[in-house]
Amino acid sequence: MENSPLESVRSSDATINKKAKWKNRQRVLVFAARGINHRDRHLMRDLKTLMPHHRSESKMERTKTLSVVNEMCEMKHCNKALLFEGRRKKDLYMWAACAPSGPSVKFLVENAHTMGELKMAGNCLRGSRPLLSFDMQFKKIPHLNLIKEILTQTLGVPNHHPKSQPFFDHVYTFTYLDDRIWFRNFQILSEDGGLSEIGPRFVLNPIKIFEESFTGKCLWQNSSYVSPTRQRQEIKKAMKDRYVNRMEQKVLKESNPVKNAYKFNENDDIFETSDAIKKAKEYADNSISKQDKQRKERKNQMKQKLKKKKAK
Amino acid sequence: MMDFEMRSSDSEGYDESDEELQEAFARGDLKPGLNIELVKEKIDVNDIPRILAKHEEIELKLPWIERLDMYNDLAPLAPELALQLERHEQKRANQFKGNAKIPYVRPEEDPVLNDFKREMLFHRQAQAAVVEGIRRLHELNIPTKRPDDYFAEMAKTDEHMQKVRANLMAKEQGQAKSERIRQIREQRKMGKMLAKQTKVQREMEKKEMLDQLKKFRKGKLKNLDFLEDTKANAKASAASKKKSAAKRKARDQHYGFGGKKRGLKRNTKASSAGLERNTKGLLGNKGGRKGGAAAKRPGKARRQKNKAKAKGK
């Protein structure tokens, strides 16, 4: 390794004593609470395959309080915890915490795609160390900076971890967009930027940051966060309004029927009988007699008026 | 489903407020219609000094190789990506134009809702990260590539990768197929147009010839040379002959040509199910009208009316 120029490929015979150099000893307890969805379970499994430094734990009962997690971590010699919590078999929440005293973050996990999806064509070594790429926003905004530190320590694979591989073949990107953190995992095909997605992919919507692990004062809270249940409720309410509007309009329309939808020619029914000419003559006579009547009426009216004037 | 509680002691606090409510209800202070549920307004908490302190507390102060984290801007747009993006933008604009149901989104706000653009963003960030990360690793004299004879367990199994490959292949094939179909459709369209053109041209030629014949009759022209120059006509007639020959052939194949005729016109199991033959060449345009419904007989009332009208006139 000392001779330059550098060989970019390590010979496969070269052995490295990993344990001696293993400084950054992170252990992450990755587990779920009961009531998790199958897709979310697969997502958790994918994360586990990508994290050789994980410890697993059986599903946690919902009757327990969250502070129990700290004891679990202590028993498993873990200093980090990733807890997946499913609600209503629909929504997934993820807690990321530094076990004994550190901060903890609660995220809502949205749009999760697992590694099993066929459109993700990339692949990487199991346990190779990912490059962690963060958006520039993580530098500027304090709470994002804290989240970045937690994510780096949990998802980043420690150097010289016994189960890790000494090659760099994938990269995680964390991008802050639309008030959420978007996670992607790409395989490095070529070192000049050829990429192929491995998965999983998900979006983390940060909800709260606590000072202690699973307890403590709230350091940051997302005021724009709306819980998915509430969101669904609002959509339903909007639907209700639509229904009511439609029914009202229907009733209104029925109560005011259209009077003259089409202008009929009133003489049209002449043609409905076999001898139209006869009928037409009848009509003509009628109309003439009507006109006569009207004339007579008018004359009478005029006469009456004149009489009244004279009387005055 | 019950939710986790942050601390067990929290639950006691809720009990107290419940008791208060119960007492109020017993006194008669609570009446239906008087009480509105107040929506707790969310407070924006952002305790920056504490956040910074906590960050300082937990930060791993180790060399970069232990952490591998980077801040990245987007990599410059690669030309092929730019081309793809342009094509996609055009497509998107057409979508907005063609379908009023898709709510219009301004291009600046588009990246969140536009899958392609968004993924491109992440892709470019990852590219920048790769370029920078690999450079840094090489600066630290750390080899990054895997030798060809190094085998280890992969994140996805070989079986799964086989599936992925099959899926990709199927997609490509589907695309090729649809492309071919589109080409055929276009060819057909072109053929129709050509046919129309030749028809018009033939009519023109005929008219011209007749004109010239008339002129010849009247004695304005002295020779009949114009009759010989009809190469185009001959070609066209040959083509039509070819077509009719194909039709003849199809008919011959079906109805038989020569040989015994007995039983040929009887239905078989396959023919009655309509499976046996391609009726396209044989039947011409008999089977079902295509353009527009057939002219229907008007209803009785209308017929009578029409009749009366006709008489009236």
Asked whether residue A234 is assigned to any structural domain, the reply reads yes
User: Is A283 inside a domain boundary?
Assistant: no
Looking at the fold, whether A94 and A153 belong to one and the same domain comes out as yes
- Cα B21 to Cα B13: distance, rounded to the nearest angstrom: 13
If pLDDT is split at 50, 70 and 90, which confidence band does B93 have? confident
Alpha-carbon distance of A209 to A97, in angstroms, equals 10
Nearest to A167 among B52, B73, B146 (CB): B146
Please indicate, yes or no, whether residues A244 and A161 belong to a single structural domain of this protein: no
Residues A172 and A236 in one domain: no
Q: Give the pLDDT confidence of A129-157 residue by residue, as tens digits.
A: 999 999 999 999 999 999 999 999 999 99
ipTM over 0.90: no
The amino acid present at A68, given as its one-letter code, is V
Number of domains comprising chain A: 2
Same domain? A89 vs A56: yes
pLDDT digits (tens, 9 = 90+) for A153-183: 999 999 999 999 989 999 999 999 989 999 9
Cα distance between residue B155 and residue B139, in whole Å: 28
- Mark whether A124 and A240 lie in a shared domain: no
Give B124-151 pLDDT, tens digit per residue. 999 999 999 999 999 999 988 888 888 8
Chain B residues whose beta carbon lies within 8 Å of the beta carbon of residue A60: none
Tell whether A63 and A160 lie within a shared domain: yes
Q: How far is B119 from chain A (nearest CA, A)?
A: 9
> A134, A218, A35: which is closest to B128 by C-alpha?
A134
Q: Chain A within 8 Å of B55 (Cβ-Cβ)? A: yes
Tokens of A147: 């989240």
- For residue B55, the distance in angstroms to the closest alpha carbon of chain A comes to 5
Q: Which residues of B9-35 are buried (b: 16+ CB within 10 A; e: fewer)?
A: eeeeeeeeeeeeeeeeeeeeeeeeeee
In a domain, A4, yes or no: no
Phi, psi of A205 (to 5 degrees): -105, 105
Per the CB < 8 A criterion, the answer to whether A223 and A210 are in contact is: no
A262 in a structural domain? no
As a whole number of angstroms, the distance between CA A81 and CA A69 comes to 8
Q: Which residues of A are less than 8 Å from B61 in CB distance?
A: none
Domain that holds residue A245: 230-257
The answer on A100 and A34 residing in a single domain is: yes
Whether A12 maps to a domain, the answer reads: no
- What single-letter DSSP state applies at residue A212? S
Q: Is beta strand A104-113 parallel, antiparallel or unpaired with respect to A80-87?
A: unpaired
Q: What integer is the mean pLDDT of A32-49?
A: 94
> What is the CATH classification number for the domain harbouring A95?
3.40.50.10480
Q: What is the DSSP string of A91-125?
A: EEEEEEEESSSS-EEEEEEEEEE-TT-TT-----B
| DSSP per-residue string spanning B179-237 | HHHHHHHHHHHHHHHHHHHHHHHHHHHHHHHHHHHHHHHHTS----GGGT--HHHHHHH
A72 & A204 share domain: yes
Give the pLDDT score at B282.
57
Residue A163, in any domain of the structure: yes
Instruction: Specify if A201 maps to a domain.
Output: yes
Q: Report d(CA B202, CA B216) in Å as an integer.
A: 21
Residue A114 · residue A46 · CB < 8 Å = yes
* In a domain? residue A190: yes
Asked if residue A214 and residue A246 are part of one domain, the reply reads no
For chain A, how many residues are written? 312
Average pLDDT of the segment spanning B206-216: 89
Q: Which residues of A touch B118 (CB under 8 A)?
A: 177, 182
Pairing of strands A91-98, A80-87: antiparallel
Domain boundary among A184, A202, A225: A225
From B292, B218, B66, select the one nearest A23 (Cα to Cα). Answer: B66
Minimal Cα distance from B166: which residue of A?
A: A118
Q: Which residue of B has its CA nearest to A48?
A: B155
User: Both tokens of residue B311?
Assistant: 């008489």
Of B8, B121, B308, the CB nearest to A65: B8
Check whether residue A192 and residue A235 sit in a common domain. Answer: no
A145 shares its domain with A163: yes
- Read off the pLDDT of residues B263-297 as tens digits, 9 standing for 90 and up: 767 777 777 777 666 555 555 544 444 445 567 88
Which of the 8 DSSP states describes residue A38? H
Read off the pTM: 0.66
- Distance, in Å, from the CA atom of B190 to the CA atom of B11, rounded to the nearest integer, reads 78
What's the start-to-end Cα distance of chain A, in Å? 134
Nearest CA in chain A to B161: A121
pLDDT (tens digit per residue) in B224-275: 777 766 555 566 666 667 667 888 888 887 777 777 767 767 777 777 777 6
The pLDDT assigned to B13 comes to: 45
pLDDT in tens, B19-57: 888 888 888 777 777 677 777 777 788 999 999 999 999
Assess whether pLDDT exceeds 90 at residue A185: yes
Question: pLDDT digits over A87-116, tens only?
Answer: 999 999 999 999 888 899 999 999 999 999
DSSP character string of B59-110: -----HHHH-EEE--PPPPPHHHHHHHHHHHHHHHHHHHH-TTSPP--TTTH
Amino acid at B4: F
Question: Do residues A215 and A247 share a domain?
Answer: no
Record: contact B137-A168, CB cut-off 8 A: yes
